Amino acid sequence: MMSKALEELRQFDTCAIANAIERFGLRLKNEGFTRPGLRCFTGDYPTALGRAVTCRVKTANPPMTGQSYYERTDWWKLIDSVEAPRIVLIEDLDGTPGLGSFMGEVHSAILAAMECAAAVTNGAVRDLPAVREMEFPLYASAATVSHAYAHMVDHGEPVSLFGLEVSCGEVVAVDCHGLLKIPMEIVEDLPIAAKEIVAKERKIIDLCRSSNFSLERLKAAVRGM
């Protein structure tokens, strides 16, 4: 049932979904979403929704053991264990995130093959033309030339991205506005709520763009919300 609800929610942007979440009063209106700084570097995509798969990385200095994330087959097992669709969340733990890129063409291909709908990081990304060609959404704070010393510190632990804390397995949505955490207990109720809110907003927008606009009609439409 949840996968059906997520598919229905894809027709809405994160703003509409956030409005729908507010209706249930489960959290404060200034919680549950990322602060400014996140943007998509590989295209303009519709909303991606799925369960979070988390990992934490560093790129500025060499790892204590091993080489790079390509050695972490246990990371791939974690991805495979989380119900699809999946969104990968990568926290760069360096003091200044983004010196090197954990996400590029190779890892984007791997994640796309493993039914991941997008990757989100507070760090940097690279290989942008190639990743645009494969149409895989990469959300980040910056682009960079090198992977530097990209390596995984751990995976499956909670991450913090642009002020939003997310645990592995939680439901999230991401688009050009940012990353939004969706309370699991209301996932199946959100499509109807979002549809109702969008329909009411559309009446006001249509009125404002019509030749029949007047302040009296606007006041009546707002009261109807």
Query: pLDDT for 173-204, tens place per residue?
Result: 999 999 999 999 999 999 999 999 999 999 99
pLDDT of 224 strictly over 80: no
Which helix (H) or strand (E) element contains residue 2?
Answer: helix 2-9
* Single pTM value for the model: 0.94
The overall average pLDDT reported for the chain is 94
Q: Using a pLDDT cut of 90, give the percent of the chain over it.
A: 88
Highest averaged pLDDT of the listed ranges 1-10, 15-24, 61-70: 15-24
pLDDT of 68 strictly over 70: no
- The string over 74-112, giving b where at least 16 C-beta atoms fall within 10 Å of a residue's C-beta and e elsewhere, is ebeeebeebeebbbbbbbbbbeebbbbbbbbbebbeebb
Measured distance CA(114)–CA(25) in Å, rounded: 35
pLDDT score, position 70: 54
